[in-house]
């Protein structure tokens, strides 16, 4: 009996050391300054999970979204939705009961709302707050009341523009039940906000790759948290990986 119990404990420890995470979101075709490339959260969040030491499963719609992205020399970015992707039915998550956590990162409203899920959860707010009108530039909405935060929820990510557009900003997100927030500022790094503290993580080694950094950050941070790292340690380790990612050292 003792030998069997010890074996089970080792299995649990091994599982926590390399967590398996389901990424929910659509692939995209990104037209960046007239050059087309593959994109979307299944690529960039999955890279963050992989390099933080996790294993990835993906739940995506059949049809990709298409974005046109114009990046100027000043690093300002104009994002236009050319075509919406397929909707994703969260009922299909029931087929992934074996995963250790779920990362929901829609690119443009392919996930309409959330309900309680029996796993640790991370959410990127980008696909919930975007207006998603085809042939129009992406704008952010203040309405996120449809987001229901399950009891085991862990972390959310948004960039500064997305948070600023939300009525009530960070206070509203905390009241909705978000326990940990990552707020990205592009080349100025990101904040980690919890119920009791806020800490800024500046990016010291800034790269020129401008797409997918927030998706990558959330994937890496969530993986480190599932591996048992504290929020501060998870953010510190993720910052270094994001620097490598933005300098094309991890592609």
Give how far Cα 65 sits from Cα of 25, 31, 157, 193, Å: 10, 11, 21, 31
Residue 208: its pLDDT value, please? 65
C-alpha angle 30-121-169 in degrees, rounded to nearest 5: 75
Greater pLDDT, 71 or 192? 192
pLDDT for residue 40 is more than 80: yes
Give how far Cα 174 sits from Cα of 37, 77, 154, 201, 205, Å: 36, 28, 12, 20, 31
Q: Which of 47-56, 138-147, 159-168, 210-219 has the lowest mean pLDDT?
A: 138-147
Residue 6: its pLDDT value, please? 40
Question: Other C-beta atoms within 10 Å of 250: how many?
Answer: 16
**Residue 147 to residue 144: CA distance in whole angstroms:** 6
Residue 216: its pLDDT value, please? 94
pLDDT for residue 29 is more than 70: yes
Across 48-57, 93-102, 122-131, 154-163, the highest mean pLDDT is recorded for 48-57
Tokens representing residue 141 in the block: 């909405």
Q: What is the mean pLDDT of residues 203-216?
A: 78
What element of type H or E holds 20?
Answer: strand 20-24
pLDDT for residue 7 is more than 50: no
β-pair type (65-71, 77-83): antiparallel
Alpha-carbon dihedral sign for residues 181, 184, 190, 191:
negative
Q: What is the mean pLDDT of residues 97-108?
A: 94
């Amino acid at each position: 009996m003792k030998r069997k119990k010890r074996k089970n404990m080792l299995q649990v420890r091994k599982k926590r050391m390399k967590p398996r995470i389901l990424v929910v979101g659509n692939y995209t075709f990104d037209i960046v300054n007239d050059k087309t490339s593959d994109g979307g959260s299944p690529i960039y969040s999955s890279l963050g999970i992989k390099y933080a030491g996790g294993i990835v499963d993906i739940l995506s719609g059949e049809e990709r979204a298409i974005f046109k992205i114009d990046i100027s020399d000043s690093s300002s970015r104009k994002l236009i939705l050319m075509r919406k992707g397929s909707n994703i039915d969260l009922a299909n998550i029931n087929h992934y009961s074996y995963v250790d956590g779920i990362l929901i990162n829609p690119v443009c409203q392919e996930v309409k709302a959330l309900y309680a899920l029996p796993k640790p959860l991370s959410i990127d707010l980008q696909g919930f707050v975007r207006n998603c009108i085809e042939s129009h530039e992406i704008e952010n909405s203040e309405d996120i009341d449809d987001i229901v935060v399950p009891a085991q929820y862990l972390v959310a990510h948004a960039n500064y523009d997305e948070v600023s557009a939300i009525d009530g900003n960070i206070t509203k997100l905390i009241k909705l039940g978000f326990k940990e927030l990552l707020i990205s500022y592009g080349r100025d790094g990101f904040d980690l906000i919890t119920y009791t503290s806020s800490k800024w993580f500046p990016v010291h080694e800034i790269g020129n790759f401008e797409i997918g950094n927030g998706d990558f950050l959330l994937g890496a941070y969530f993986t480190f948290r599932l591996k048992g790292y504290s929020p501060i340690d998870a953010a510190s380790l993720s910052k270094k990986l994001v620097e490598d990612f933005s300098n094309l050292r991890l592609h």
